[in-house]
Amino acid sequence: MNEALREISPKKIAVLNGILHGHFTGSVEVVRELAALGHDITCFVTDEFADRLNDIPVKKVVYSADVSQVAKMLPPTAPPFAINSFMVGRATYEVMELLMKDRTEYDYYIVDAFFDIEEMNKVLKLDPSKFVMIYPSFILTDENQFDNARLIGLQWTNQHYGINLRDFVGLIFTPNNFKKLLLTSKYFHLRPEDTDDTCYFLGPHIEQRVVDESFDFKKDPDKRLLFISLGTIFGRDLEFYHRCIEAFGGSEQYQVIMSVGKFVNIEETFKEIPENFTVYNYVPQTQLLPQVDVFITHAGFNSTSEGLASGASLVLVPQAVDQFDVAKVVEGLNAGIALNKHEIDITADIIKNAVDTAYDRREEFRAAADVILKSFREARSNRTALYGEIFA
């Protein structure tokens, strides 16, 4: 057995896993590693993600954060994060109820950054020195992340407990004194000089998903492959998709794969799809990316990390929250091109020019991405030592 493993004193750790895909994905690898080190892990996990823990020796406390009935009542004009605020409110209530019934004496609580544990603890009365936060990307922002509209989904839980849960996105960028697990490297963090000794940089987990045999895509060897995806939450920007079709429809240079998310009806939305386009509701991204020449992404942290690792040139079109900061960091490190919809009108011509430029600069971007990936590997290589320090 590795000497580092022998020195670790096993701890009882409760993990409040994330309720959104990007948050949960990062936490899974941390859970897997801590369990392998001999810690006694109990995961409070939604029924949507519980099966993804089946191959890890952990206890599972499964609950539902289903708010499908609420979703049916939301107007079509509701912002993309509206339903998520209700999910966070429901999940917060469920987790609080479960923790109040749980008599286990945990040594530590790993808490996803969407849970307002300080406010929750006004009811839970746990030892706050046991809290360790886990962040999928940054703890700093250059954007205004605070949005009162997102508080709507937290109102019922607030009223039930007589507490004041904060805006669940802005909360991520609210300073606190807890230990913080950051699933990035210091090199790739926004304003790394402003982070402090509560921050432990673990590097990202770039997920390699099971091959989807039903995805029958074939790359045209005579064309550049352009992949367009705004992610699962922000996939409703129909105007952007139509501008992409305007920019590349009928192109002799580009074969285009466009993933528009599960909420878009392809037949109703796209009356005429050019022959060089294939439009999907879902694409197995990590399976496709190694073949991609240019990747237009919403700059979600997981998608960006996967894009950097794949070798594709990146054009980042952030939609909300930390995506603007991620895009800024990538462009600042000379690893991609950022298009900020708050600063410019992203027309078909601008999209076309950005993609052409990204392709032409692919070797330059690849070299910069290699430096970023090296920083990720270095951060990941130090995980065991950091776990020993954090969970002493």
Identify the pLDDT of residue 205. 79
Bin 125: left if φ > 0, else alpha if -120 < ψ < 50, else beta: left
* C-alpha–C-alpha distance, residues 305 and 309, integer Å: 6
Instruction: Look up residue 287 and give its two tokens.
Output: 């399976």
For the chain, 392 residues long, give each residue's pLDDT as a single digit of tens: 344 444 568 999 999 999 988 889 888 999 999 999 999 999 999 999 999 999 999 999 999 999 989 888 888 777 767 888 999 999 999 999 999 999 999 999 999 999 999 999 999 999 999 999 999 989 999 998 888 888 999 999 999 999 999 999 999 999 999 999 999 999 999 999 999 999 999 999 776 666 777 888 889 999 999 999 998 766 678 899 999 999 999 999 999 999 998 778 888 889 899 999 999 988 889 899 999 999 999 999 989 999 999 999 999 999 988 999 999 999 999 999 999 999 999 999 999 999 999 999 999 999 999 999 999 999 999 999 999 999 99
Helix (H, G, I), strand (E, B) or coil at 240: helix
Q: What is the dihedral of CA 146, 147, 152, 154, to 10 degrees?
A: -10
One fold for both 3-183 and 224-375?
Answer: yes
Count H helices and E strands in the chain, helices first: 14, 13
DSSP 197-236: TTEEE-------PPP-TT------TTSEEEEEE-TTTSTT
Q: How far is CA 301 from the centre of its chain?
A: 5
Per-domain residue ranges of the chain: 3-183, 224-375
Instruction: Look up residue 251 and give its two tokens.
Output: 């192109």
Identify the pLDDT of residue 107. 98
DSSP 254-282: EEEEEE--TT--HHHH-SS--TTEEEES-
DSSP 101-150: H-----SEEEEETTS-HHHHHHHH---GGGEEEEESS-S--SS----GGG
Cβ atoms of residues 260 and 281 within 8 Å: yes
* C-alpha–C-alpha distance, residues 379 and 372, integer Å: 11
Closest CA relative to residue 135, chosen from 179, 92, 87 = 179
Cβ atoms of residues 15 and 41 within 8 Å: yes
* C-alpha–C-alpha distance, residues 351 and 362, integer Å: 16
> Which residues lie closer than 8 Å to 225 by C-beta, 6 or more apart?
219, 254, 255, 256, 257, 291, 292, 293, 294
Q: How far is CA 122 from the centre of its chain?
A: 28
> What is the number of other CB atoms lying within 10 angstroms of the CB of residue 113?
24
Cβ atoms of residues 169 and 139 within 8 Å: no
* C-alpha–C-alpha distance, residues 128 and 126, integer Å: 6
Identify the pLDDT of residue 210. 62
CATH architecture group of domain 3-183:
3-Layer(aba) Sandwich (3.40)
Identify the pLDDT of residue 4. 46
* C-alpha–C-alpha distance, residues 86 and 281, integer Å: 24
Identify the pLDDT of residue 2. 46
DSSP-derived letter for residue 45 is E
Sole residue written with tokens 């690898």: 29
> Which residues lie closer than 8 Å to 226 by C-beta, 6 or more apart?
248, 254, 255, 256, 257, 292, 293, 294, 295, 296, 355
Identify the pLDDT of residue 392. 92
Looking at domain 224-375, what is its CATH homologous superfamily? Glycogen Phosphorylase B; (3.40.50.2000)
Amino acid identity, residue 232?
Answer: T
Cβ atoms of residues 169 and 112 within 8 Å: no
Element (H, E) at 388: helix 383-390
Identify the pLDDT of residue 124. 98
Identify the pLDDT of residue 6. 46
